[in-house]
Chain A
């Protein structure tokens, strides 16, 4: 496998009960790049994202076919512990979802419990909050409830919380869709910064956002991967007509 590939899907199908949500997906995600997943509502973007850190395991009556290879192993093979996968592949959700704990404990929670990080927790909290560009805003209120932060601050806290686990990959499902333009810009800058150290896969409905921040873009339609290429190429001269129609808003 190409050394630049961090995770690759081979002929992946995914079913919710009888309904197939993803059809025969084959694609490679590249290391230290930002990959955007785009497509109309219900095309399976979130399903694909949650497949990569086995969050779909939480839903009863689902089934995966095909291989998802990460670090040389199929993450769905029976000898793989999903908990270990999730430590290395972090996730940020659409709606900011901090724990009803203090800001400090939101960050410290994961590392403390998983013992993956036995170093100085105070250092780690400071470091990850700085990484998430939140430190200056919260350094004096670390013992205040995270629920009192603004939506944008909460989302950056959630990013910091994921970073504290020192993951390889960060999955983001429409991380800015609940935020105002200023918070959105902050998070976009942050993503730009983070891709030096992390691989980022982001779902977005915002075409400009995809064009701005991603290196590669994958367009999905009805559970199929229609086109996957360099972002520049997708947004200037896509190979498939459907892609062009979607990007230019002439869809449906």
Chain B
């Protein structure tokens, strides 16, 4: 009897030990990630904060980009990101609606989905070359906001399609059935019931795409980004400066790389802030939608 109880206690101890060991492991990995992120942000702040000033944000570069600000690059990145979203989001959501709601599930659809996944894995420089050949040269858009936005839009398309598909699938089938059973058409059902319920999920996934569009260098290198223009773009057919490309230029091909180090870090800091800012807007929109869903 006593023996049996002891045995049981030992087993419990062992189970408890295993459990806490496992939790410890999970905690450690969470900690490592947080530390890495914190480290990166601290490093950028430490090196970049000193050059941040109103002047830096609101003035164009001067003295062959060794002095002055980065305002044209900030604006350019915002234009390109907004452009990429306005192209990628509608196209991606439309594709996802077709794939999940309309297309008859079968070989063809599986093939298309594999294709989309492959697209997500294509290096961004390939998108850049595609944009150069297709939008810049073939469509004669030249190196411009339009060509860059289209290229970035295509780059983030797989992310948005994937997120939208997941979001659409997570809308309960019973909602669709309830609507269709009333004699409401399929399109109305999707538009009035499925999409509104999927939208927060679609936005969540698209936030990843936004970050990517704002931060990529390779896709805009040949399609939109100018080495230097003090003049702001007048239309979508103009070139722009962009933050990631500006960092690349300063760090590799500037007139005086060492002298511009602080500016480089400052630009990185602004880029991170812009990406976070655009994400924040998306998160606010999502929160607003969730609150107004009245579940």
Contacts and interface: CB of A to CB of B under 8 A. Distances in A.
Interface of A: 53, 55, 58, 60, 83-88, 90-91, 93, 95, 97-102, 109-110, 113-114, 116, 144-145, 147, 158, 161-162, 165
A93 B105 contact: no
Interface of B is mostly: helix
Q: 3 closest Cβ contacts across the A-B interface?
A: A87-B183, A110-B182, A86-B183
B180 A58 contact: yes
Given A86-B182, A93-B178, A113 B192 contact: yes
13 contacts: A53-B181, A85-B183, A86-B180, A88-B183, A93-B174, A93-B181, A97-B177, A99-B178, A100-B197, A110-B182, A113-B188, A145-B294, A165-B182
B105 A60 contact: yes
A55 B177 contact: yes
B178 A87 contact: no
B36 to A, nearest CB: 39
Interface in B148-195: 172, 174-185, 188, 192-193
B182 A97 contact: no
Given A113-B192, A161-B178, 6 more contacts: A55-B181, A86-B180, A87-B182, A87-B183, A109-B182, A145-B295
B174 A97 contact: yes
Interface of B: 104-105, 172, 174-185, 188, 192-193, 197, 293-295
B15 to A, nearest CB: 38
Interface centre among A60, A100, A102, A147 (most CB of B within 10 A): A100
B295 A99 contact: no
Interface centre among A53, A84, A97 (most CB of B within 10 A): A97
Contact of B295 (A60, A86, A95, A100): A100
Contact of A84 (B179, B180, B183, B294): B183
A90 B182 contact: yes
A236 B294 CA distance: 50
A116 B183 CA distance: 10
Interface centre among B172, B184, B188, B193 (most CB of A within 10 A): B184
Contact of A109 (B105, B176, B192, B295): B192
A165 B181 CA distance: 10
A112 to B, nearest CB: 9
A91 B294 contact: no
Contacts of B192: 109, 113
Contact of B185 (A55, A83, A99): A83
A165 B177 contact: no
Contacts of A90: 181-182
Nearest to A98: B178
A57 B182 CA distance: 14
Contact of A83 (B175, B183, B197, B293): B183
A213 to B, nearest CB: 21
A85 B179 CA distance: 14
Nearest to A158: B178
Contacts of B182: 86-87, 90, 109-110, 114, 161-162, 165
A95 B174 contact: yes
Contact of A93 (B177, B185, B197, B294): B177
A56 to B, nearest CB: 11
A87 to B, nearest CB: 3
A126 B261 CA distance: 71
B188 A60 contact: no
Contacts of A102: 294
Contacts of B181: 53, 55, 86, 90-91, 93, 162
A101 B293 CA distance: 7
Contacts of B177: 55, 58, 93, 97
A75 to B, nearest CB: 13
A187 B90 CA distance: 44
A232 B184 CA distance: 38
A60 B103 CA distance: 11
A165 B174 contact: no
A55 B294 contact: no
Contacts of B180: 55, 58, 86
